Amino acid sequence: MEERAALLARVSAGHGTEIKDPATGEVIGRVAFGTPGDVAAAVDTAAKAQPGWAALDDQERCAALMRAADAIDAHAEELAYVVSREQGKTMNGLGARYEAAGCAAWVRATASTPLPVEVLVDDGQSRAELHYRPIGVVGAITPWNWPMIIACWQIAPALRMGNTVVQKPSEYTTLTGLAIAAVLNEALPPGVLTAVTGAGDVGDALVRDPRVGKVMFTGSVKTGMKVIEASAGNMPRLTLELGGNDAAIVLPDVDPQAIAEGLFWGAFINNGQTCAAMKRLYVPDAIYDEVVDALAALAAKIPMGVGLDEGNVLGPLQNQMQWNVVNRLVEDAKVRGARVVMGGDPDAAAPGYFYPKTLIADIDNAAPLVQEEQFGPALPIIRYTDLEQAVEWANGVDVGLGASVWSADRDTALAIAARLQAGTVWINSHGGIDPRVPFGGAKRSGYGLEFGVEGLKAVSVPQVISG
């Protein structure tokens, strides 16, 4: 066995469901999926461990998180190997090694963010302070696209604030979820982080458990709505990081060659399977052909293939379900007469869930490829002549995670950014995140914030001490 495969072997069960490499179909391990009945025991463990963990002072919890980040670094290549084999992303580029390094960086940043007591009033007559207390047990439910780092985004702040965590990875990336939990647990006291496996019914049981005081949920809008419904019984607090359909608006004053790379990776990071990837590109008539040509020339040079091959920087889609979504939307665009600039011609007989890099030009804004979240490597490029129309189109969907404006003039870009209905608007880039900067959605992309001080506050109960 390859040395870096040791962690994958460690978290694979000897029996249960076969897990296949999405690039090759090869069996890489087995998972014994849990049932809703397993949730109570996991929550028990977390509930018992919580008072002791909360009793540590903040510095001690931060020190444990720092050791957890060191453990991630020590196992970085093994973690990257697991996620590459199970999720499909390439080892290189903005892929598996990048995700593993991001996990360590985020855990460290979470342990380094100061959260002092806020003195709200101190006028000689009265004094009011705002403290942030632990909630108790946090349920952490993750999707399959960035399965390690999203788990860290949920787990690290929850632990920092004195909560314990029950984590439920996506059923599509269970081995990766178990792997990151195993590595974090090398540095954490027993019971502080527990993983349960299984599908949506297990997630639902976690949301409904009366001892869970907070649910961190990252996934689709549809499931997010179910989580809201399921939470009505016990009212756990919710952070919902849901789907997006991010628009990018290019202004006529840009240099198409200069922005092509930023546009490409904004859209194709992780093969488009990224919540805040650029999913619709609005380009003015005056430079439309130049932008499309520059993107196509760049895209043609980007190697796609099996994730373990060091030369590749884009891999397959993670699963058949997502492949079908992308294929349906592109086929529909073709029927509507949109222009296929490149791609759109998958080889259904080839092994794995590969879908080629696809650029679709001259597409109507009303087409489903524009209006729905494709979550894959197929970018619609919509031509506009009136900037007001482009802003209206950008805002014309029911989600609002990210957006971007591309212009040589910062003031113009800022004025447009202020009008876009999205949790983050990037200027001359798309999708970059930073552990110091809060991240969250507008509209149906969810509510609540992750990262930075805001992210810490979101996994705690504010308490006012007055007098």
Question: Which residues have a catalytic role annotated?
Answer: 241, 275
CA dist 353 and 367 (Å) reads 24
Minimum CB separation of residue 37 from ligand NAD in Å reads 16
- Compute CA distances 107 → 156, 269, 434, 435, 448, whole Å: 6, 22, 12, 9, 19
- What residues pair up with 361 in beta bridges, in sequence order? 339, 381
219 binds ligand NAD (CB under 6 A): yes
> What residues from 369 to 408 belong to the interface with ligand NAD (CB under 6 A)?
373, 375, 401
CA proximity to 295, closest of 283, 304, 285, 307: 283
Stretch that binds ligand NAD, among 87-95, 124-132, 212-220, 343-351 (CB under 6 A): 212-220
Nearer to ligand NAD, 163 or 424 (CB): 424
Burial of 229 (0-12, 13-18, 19+ CB in 10 A): exposed
Size of the site for ligand NAD (CB under 6 A): 32
379 neighbors 278 (Cβ within 8 angstroms): yes
Q: Spell out, one character per residue from 134 to 173, where the chain touches ligand NAD: x when CB under 6 A holds, - when not.
A: -------xxxxx----x-----------------x-xx--
Stretch that binds ligand NAD, among 238-246, 280-288, 328-336, 363-371 (CB under 6 A): 238-246
Q: Which residue is nearest to ligand NAD (CB)?
A: 203
From 227, 299, 308, 313, residue interacting with ligand NAD (rule: CB under 6 A): 227
Nearer to ligand NAD, 227 or 299 (CB): 227
Nearer to ligand NAD, 20 or 131 (CB): 20
Burial of 84 (0-12, 13-18, 19+ CB in 10 A): buried
275 binds ligand NAD (CB under 6 A): yes
CA dist 111 and 376 (Å) reads 33
> What residues from 278 to 317 belong to the interface with ligand NAD (CB under 6 A)?
none
Minimum CB separation of residue 217 from ligand NAD in Å reads 7
243 binds ligand NAD (CB under 6 A): yes
> What residues from 417 to 456 belong to the interface with ligand NAD (CB under 6 A)?
441, 445-446
Minimum CB separation of residue 258 from ligand NAD in Å reads 29
263 neighbors 295 (Cβ within 8 angstroms): yes
Which two three-digit tokens encode residue 396? 């014309």
Which two three-digit tokens encode residue 57? 């002072």
From 218, 404, 421, 460, residue interacting with ligand NAD (rule: CB under 6 A): 218
Nearer to ligand NAD, 38 or 364 (CB): 38
241 binds ligand NAD (CB under 6 A): yes
Judged by the rule CB under 6 A, the positions of this chain that interact with ligand NAD are 141-145, 150, 168, 170-171, 199-200, 203-204, 207, 218-220, 223, 226-227, 230, 241-244, 275, 373, 375, 401, 441, 445-446
